[in-house]
Copies of this chain bind each other. A is one copy, B any other.
Amino acid sequence: MASKVRLFVDHPLGEGQLVPLTREQANYLFAVMRLPVGTVLSLINSRDGEWDAEIAEGNKRGGVLACQAQTKPLQMPPDLWLLFAPIKKARTDFIVEKAAEMGAAKIMPVLTEFTNSDRVRQDKLQAHALEATEQCGGTYVPEVSEVQKLDSVLRDWPEGRQLMFCDEARVGERAGLSGSAGPWAILIGPEGGFSEAERIRLAALPCSTVVSLGPRILRADTAAVAALTMWQMALGDWG
């Protein structure tokens, strides 16, 4: 089954809209994929849903697509952020990919006391989020922010956003999430968990709900998917 090529563009999509290609996109479509003029692709831009667009002209250095018709409306994720402490590269990539698939709106790498990796390439992670969205047929690409200290993120915490604090030290307690709808964030700790000072501070925040993720210790990437599932079922767009 030859499936349509799917492309993210930073350009408005609409009937008759002409969409210029970047050099990189043109190279991919015409040098790598060798698509002829007239081929129909799928375009998304995180704003206007998914559109069919035909290749009007192009070569390895540039080109133009012509929008035809909307094939999917925009499907916004709930207003959910995923905060996580970056771990080894493969697992960090994995967390970003999973967050995009599971419907997080924003992905925020944060440095905690025990975070053992601070070499986080925002551009690479953003590309992962984009690829995961394209793969899974989504129409919204979550934003990946630059890595920040957890401290600073908490200091500037937005009024009214609730925090699901997944505390490894609660392993074995009853898992479950209660809370009210609205803006939320999930926080997943690094391998080795949070420091005692961080745990006390996080649990004491008025915005914070402390949550156990069952009776087993989970790796951070597993914990991210489990927490996203739990949140989506209880308060998101799964239930």
Contact = CB atoms under 8 A, between A and B. Distances in A.
Interface of A: 1, 75, 94, 98, 101-103, 135-138, 174-176, 192, 213-219, 222, 225-226, 228-230, 232-233, 237-239
Given A175-B238, A239-B174, A101 B233 contact: no
Given A226-B229, A229-B229, A230-B233, A218 B101 contact: yes
Contacts of A226: 102, 225, 228-229
A222 B102 contact: yes
Contacts of A216: 75, 101-103, 136-138
A24 to B, nearest CB: 25
A210 to B, nearest CB: 15
A132 to B, nearest CB: 8
A1 B101 CA distance: 35
A189 to B, nearest CB: 15
A176 B239 contact: yes
Contact of A237 (B136, B214, B230): B214
Contacts of A103: 214-216
Nearest to A174: B239
Given A238-B175, A239-B175, A239-B176, A101 B222 contact: yes
A75 to B, nearest CB: 7
A174 B192 CA distance: 36
Contacts of A229: 225-226, 229-230
| 3 closest cross-chain pairs (CB), A and B | A175-B238, A214-B238, A229-B229
B214 A176 contact: no
A219 B102 CA distance: 10
A233 B176 CA distance: 7
B218 A136 contact: yes
Contacts of A94: 94
10 contacts: A75-B215, A101-B217, A136-B219, A137-B216, A213-B238, A214-B238, A225-B225, A226-B229, A229-B230, A230-B233
A85 to B, nearest CB: 17
